[in-house]
Amino acid sequence: MGANFAAFLRTGQLGPLTLGMAPSAVELQLGAPDARSRKHNPLILKYGPLELAFWSPRSQPPQLAQILMSVVHGLGELPPALQFDDLMPAAVSRFNDFSRFVEQIGVWPDETLKGDRESSILLPSGVKASFIDGQLSALSLSKRERDLNRPPVLTDEREPSIGQVRLQLEEARNALRLGLESAAVLLGWAALEAAMRRAALSAGYKGKLRVQPTILIRELYALGILNSQEVQALESARQQRTTIAHGLTSAPVDRQAILQIIQLAEHLLSD
């Protein structure tokens, strides 16, 4: 099974690849790279037009910190696991075509910069599309070095009890039964964030800083607590929750997606 272009733009997950993976896990999925850097921090693995950079923060094992895909000369040399099975980027390689496609899949850019020669579109997933003379030149996703040098840390201060989180989940179910889908998304997501923080605390993350949901999701995936399908579903749900919370136009709410949020939160609590 290959990768899905729309899913990559929405979630930042490229087939089996997601930020935070170890080099060995990447090679298990993609095979031996075409080239490997001599330096180990960062360690660079190249697969045709794809370049993967790994950083080792504070003597920790190296983590996938950047995915850079050059699309100028085509993507035919990508590993089979990364071949797009829905749409090739070449089909939407012009700036305006790419913008329309992003809207069609229900994604609203966080930032759009259009210059005389160089332009870019930054999506909520963290994927950045770069253009030269209006033509798509690269797709990238990176984890800022400062985040790697400051590992995710949490505190149980002011965290709700399991009973309080379960009560919020029941409120989300009640809202869904009453047809209040937007309210159900907000309530369900709030409970899910609390459940993810509890899961991260159980995994050993301590300290005084709150962790952004996108970082939590990636760390829980790296720990094996979340699988790739759950990561994609959570990123889509996070983006919809953001559009609702900020009063932006969003795609119709999927009731099954809300139930999935609630069920995942309950699963994390039970673990």
pLDDT tens-digit profile of 45-94? 999 999 999 988 777 788 899 999 999 878 888 899 998 988 888 888 99
Give the percent of the chain with pLDDT over 90: 31
Every domain of the chain and the residues it spans: 5-147, 152-270
Instruction: Read off the tokens for 254.
Output: 């999927």
Average pLDDT over residues 28-51: 92
Size of the chain in residues: 271
CATH architecture, domain defined by 152-270? Up-down Bundle (1.20)
pLDDT in tens, 109-155: 888 888 888 999 998 888 999 999 999 999 999 875 334 334 444 55
Q: Give the pLDDT confidence score for residue 210 in this predicted structure.
A: 52
Higher pLDDT, 158 or 172: 172
Q: Give the pLDDT confidence score for residue 12 in this predicted structure.
A: 86
**Total-model pTM:** 0.59
pLDDT in tens, 242-270: 778 777 656 677 888 889 889 999 999 88
